[in-house]
Amino acid sequence: MSGKNNFFNMLLFFLVLLFYGIYPVWFIPTIPVFYQYVLLNFFVLIIGGIVYCWPDLNDISSDIIYPRISEINFNFFGVTIVIGAVLAHIPFWVLPVVTGDDMQSHISPAATVLGHVYSFIPPIFVKLLALATLIGIVVVLRFLRHNFKKANFVFWISVFAINLYAFLLLKTQLINKMGMWQSVFRYPPAAKLVYLTGYSVLGVNEIVGRGIQFIFLLGTVLAVGRTVKLISRDADFNVILFLTLFFPTFFHFTNYALLTNGLVFFFAAISYFFLKSLKDEKSISWVIFLLSIGFLYKRLILGLIPIIFFYLIYLYFKNSITLVFLKKYLKNLFVPLLIGLPFTVIGSILKIRGTGSNIGHIFSPVKMLQNSKDFFETLGPFLSVLIVLSAAWCFVRRKKHNVYWLVLVTGYYLMISLTAANGYIRHTQPVYLGLFYFFVVALTDFVNWAKQKNKMILILAGLLLFGELGYSNFFAVNRVQRTVLSNRFNEIYPYDELMKYFRDIRKFPITVYAPCDVEPSHFYLAKYQLTGKISWDRTAPSDVNLGSIVSRASKYDYLCLLDIGTEYNYYKDVIKDILKSEQMELVRVFDYKGHRMFLFKYPKGQISTGILGGIYSI
């Protein structure tokens, strides 16, 4: 086995082991501890067997090439664009976490882990330990890249360390304190470890998660830029940088600590290396590597495998690739599927809620056209038409790789339309990425033409596009599932202020009953180092009314209710009834831009009529 071969396999094994070991996918509370260890080591055995023994994986990894970012022309204008983009995001990045959004499933588990860690290790030492760990990993990997005789030793050390780590987790019962399985296991492990790393180094705060999604978007810039340069060496990287950072949906999802920009990055990077591998046959390893890691980031990346499969079959029948090349690719596409298998199996065993398929949508024109409708309504008429014209331009003038992007757009569109994720633009962003590729190619062609023919046209067109993107990102109202300046406070409730209030009380432990579905309480408990000091129950009774809420609240120190009236959270009437009945004492009302939280205390106290008729009137 060659040196590069060893290093590639070891790196893949190390990262997958990290995700499956540190993130406790092996933990099933309903089975004895001994079998949890067996499951952990069974995962290690499966992953090690796949990475080191899979036929043909050694062959492709021996050809691995390392991409050079220096090939991208990143100059003063590029730095200015990046700084401008960061400043443009500030009005959104400083906002508290929204209520009623899946963001809590991504950020809260990582924050809660740190919240428990902070109870016995001060935050400053956690930061130093995290930095030391990151530096240590880099040093070890660089050492092993040139000293492969030590690789087997490090392999067994890693296995020993992961078992020791599992022992400590079980001994401290940290996993048991993490909350519902749905929050922990609903999404694959890689994303939570990314957020955990960010919070460990920079602290638990709102900007970190959003900054991580911005970094993913910068990675998308590099991938898209290099992909465009495969067909147009004269493409201006600064144009690609600007278009990517300010494309409305990419810009929007940079303002939220979801997984969307990471999903777009993996689709863009895998697509680049896949198209490159068709030319040099030396980038297959990166395709397999990114598919494997990407699948552990978000399961939707699985959709790239059938897309690649059908495109390879198309190329084979066009005599563009050989049968040997086709077989080599198809064999190795099983690797990411097998690597993602343990997490998928555990999710099925535990019946974790996921996005189910809905084949019946194919018989409904309304359902099948929903994502197209959302595309035009979220981007607006001007940009939508411009993208359609760009696609037409590419098919007329730029033939290379168009079929791949068409297969990606149509294949993924069909796949997502036949699931319960249909109608959510955050899940359809790979479709937007494919269409965005056509947009970028057409725009860079136009820029190159205008530079030679008439720079005044270039200036006017640039101002028009700049104005459109600025308007779309900041001022356009009623854009489907997107946030602009005017609606950026929607669905934000003052959990931040509530936790500050509890922190200043300094009388712990405290128990709080706060029935609400999908809310960021555990994130803010960790932010203010209240994890473990406050027992927070957010489980709603089956019948939400005055009697059930007050009865349940009698077992706690405080009752916290949101003045909210959504389908899953409706407590407006209960708040009115409690205030009228005076069965509980109103401690305080927290307000954020008109969104209120009511904090009550049990047993019953006296509330002055003046207060009820004034500040705290309903």
Average pLDDT, rounded, for the chain: 84
Please report how many Cα atoms fall inside a 13 Å half-sphere around the Cα of residue 417, on the Cβ side.
21
Q: Are residues 454 and 555 in the same domain?
A: no
Contact, 434 vs 272, CB < 8 A?
no
How far is 385 from 370, CA to CA, in rounded Å? 18
507 and 443 both lie in a single domain:
no
Residue 490 included in any domain: no
Compute, in degrees rounded to 10, the torsion defined by CA atoms 214, 216, 221, 226.
170
- Residue 483, domain member (yes or no): no
Residue 422 has pLDDT above 90, yes or no: no
CA distances (Å), 245 to each of 71, 77, 309, 481, 486, in order? 20, 14, 30, 18, 21
- Amino acid type, 271: S
Residue 206 has pLDDT above 60, yes or no: yes
- Single-letter code of the amino acid located at 614: G
Residue 485 lies in a domain: no
**Percentage of residues of the chain with pLDDT beyond 90:** 43
Same domain, 216 and 164: yes
**Which phi and psi (to 5°) does residue 68 adopt?**
-115, 115
Report whether pLDDT(101) > 50. Answer: yes
Helix H or strand E encompassing 166: helix 151-172
Nearest Cα residue to 401 out of 241, 271, 280: 271
- Any domain includes 489: no
Q: Which residue type is seen at 329?
A: Y
Co-location of 465 and 538 in the same domain: no
Segment 308-324 mean pLDDT: 92
Are residues 296 and 239 both part of a single domain?
Answer: yes
pLDDT, average across residues 270-283: 87
Note whether 458 and 538 are same-domain residues: no
Which residues span the domain enclosing 197?
3-351+361-474
Q: How far is CA 167 from CA 23, 170, 269, 444, in A?
A: 13, 5, 37, 55
CATH of the domain at 590: 3.40.190
- The per-residue pLDDT for range 390-410, each reduced to its tens digit, is 999 999 888 788 999 999 999
pLDDT of residue 613: 33
Instruction: For residues 449 and 553, state if they share a domain.
Output: no
Does residue 174 sit within a domain? yes
Q: How far apart are CA 202 and CA 340, in angstroms?
A: 30
Q: Is residue 482 situated within a structural domain? A: no
Assess whether pLDDT exceeds 80 at residue 241.
yes
Radius of gyration, alpha carbons of the chain? 26
Out of 42-46, 168-172, 283-287, 426-430, the most confident range is 426-430
Task: Give burial (CB, 10 Å; 0-12/13-18/19+) of 379.
Answer: buried
CA distances from 506 to 122, 221, 499, 511 (A): 18, 47, 11, 13
Q: How confident is the model at residue 64 (pLDDT cuts 50, 70, 90)?
A: very low
Does residue 480 lie in a domain region? Answer: no
176-185, 279-288, 316-325, 555-564: segment of lowest average pLDDT: 176-185
- Comparing 96-110, 386-400, 512-526, the range with the smallest average pLDDT is 96-110
Look at residue 185 in the predicted model and tell me its pLDDT: 66
Q: Is the distance from CB of 599 to CB of 498 less than 8 angstroms?
A: yes
236 and 184 belong to one structural domain: yes
Q: How far apart are CA 575 and CA 591, in angstroms?
A: 15
Query: Exposed (0-12), middle (13-18) or buried (19+): which is 587, by Cβ within 10 Å?
Result: middle
| Final residue belonging to a domain, choices 417, 445, 474 | 474
Same domain for 501 and 469: no
Residue 69: CB atoms within 10 Å: 8
The pair phi, psi for residue 589, each rounded to 5°, is -115, 125
What per-residue confidence (pLDDT) applies to 63?
Answer: 45
C-alpha–C-alpha distance, residues 109 and 561, integer Å: 23
Q: Which residues contact 225 (CB under 8 A, 6 or more apart)?
A: 72, 235, 237, 240, 241
* pLDDT for res 353: 58
Please check the confidence at residue 544 and state whether its pLDDT lies above 80: yes
Which of these three, 420, 441, 474, is where a domain ends?
Answer: 474
State the average pLDDT over residues 119-146.
83
Task: Give the pair of three-digit tokens for residue 525.
Answer: 């408990």
Residue 255 has pLDDT above 60, yes or no: yes
267: which 2 tokens?
A: 């689709």
- CA dihedral 515→517→521→522, nearest 10 degrees, is 110
Q: In sequence order, what are the beta bridge partners of 364?
A: none
User: In degrees, to the nearest 5, what angle opens at C-alpha 472 toward C-alphas 466 and 476?
Assistant: 140
Q: Clarify whether residues 442 and 548 are in a common domain.
A: no
pLDDT of residue 375: 95
Look at residue 436 and tell me whether its pLDDT is greater than 90. yes
Q: Based on the fold, state whether residues 401 and 541 are members of the same structural domain.
A: no
Q: Outline where DSSP puts E strands in 467-605.
A: 510-513, 534-537, 558-562, 585-592, 595-601
- Asked if residue 395 belongs to a domain, the reply is yes
148 against 220, higher pLDDT? 220
Condensed to tens digits (0 to 9), the pLDDT of residues 332-366 reads 888 888 887 777 777 666 666 555 667 778 888 89
The structure tokens 């008109």 sit at 594
- Sheet with 558-562, strands from edge to edge, namely 534-537, 510-513, 558-562, 595-601, 585-592
Q: What is the token pair recorded at 535?
A: 């027992």
Q: What is the pLDDT of residues 466-517, one digit of tens each?
A: 999 999 999 998 899 999 999 999 999 999 999 999 999 888 899 999 998 7
559 three-state secondary structure: strand
Question: Residue 458 — very low, low, confident or very high, per pLDDT cuts 50/70/90?
Answer: confident
| pLDDT of amino acid 351 | 63
Statement to judge: residues 452 and 527 lie in one domain: no
Side chain identity, residue 364: S
Token reading at 349: 């065993």
Instruction: Express the helix, strand and coil content of the chain in percent, nearest 5 each.
Output: 65, 5, 30
Judge contact between 357 and 39, C-beta under 8 A.
Answer: no
The pLDDT of residue 307 is: 95
Last residue of a domain, which of 425, 440, 474?
474
Report residue 359 as tokens: 């084949």
Number of domains in the chain: 2
Q: Which residue has the tokens 């939220």?
A: 256
Please report the pLDDT score of residue 606 as a whole number.
43
